[in-house]
Amino acid sequence: MSKHTPGPWYVEEHERQRWNSPTTPTRGVVTQAEHHGSWTVYLIGEVSYPTTAQGSVGALERLANARLIAAAPDLLAALKVADDHIRSVSGNGETDVRAILNAAIDKAEGQTSLIPEVTR
């Protein structure tokens, strides 16, 4: 299994139009990496909503989803730190909390696609 593109990831400042669907605005999630001595911007993904007869829908939701995707590497790192901390202070305690954290980590790393249902 390969690892994800290293962060940090960023949300593009402005929406853009897709070349194959000029009426569907998108919000890109990008990263920068050095390649042969210069910095290059790489597209991680796009968040888009179709345009309807009423116009483009979901601009704020599109931005919020792009921000959430861009935060993914940071969230994964935070989950790992939290899991390490809980394990160090509680030994084998807090197994329910750790199970939820580890399920999210596994999902992010492609080990599973499911997160267990949280019982409150």
More confident residue, 4 or 92: 4
CA distance 20 to 82: 42
Is residue 61 within 8 Å of 15, Cβ to Cβ?
no
Confidence grade of residue 22 (pLDDT, cut at 50, 70, 90): low
pLDDT digits (tens, 9 = 90+) for 85-119: 888 887 766 678 888 888 888 877 777 655 555 55
Q: What 3-state class would DSSP assign to 77?
A: helix
Please give the average per-residue pLDDT across 1-28, as a whole number: 72
List the domain boundaries for the chain. 10-70, 74-108
| Banded pLDDT at 120 (limits 50, 70, 90) | very low
Model confidence at 5, pLDDT cuts 50, 70, 90, reads confident
pLDDT value for 4: 79
| pTM higher than 0.75 | no
Beta strands in the chain (DSSP E): 10-11, 16-18, 21-35, 38-48, 51-52, 55-56
pLDDT digits (tens, 9 = 90+) for 32-81: 888 788 888 888 888 877 666 665 557 777 788 888 888 888 888 898 88
Rounded Cα–Cα distance for residues 95 and 119 (Å)? 13
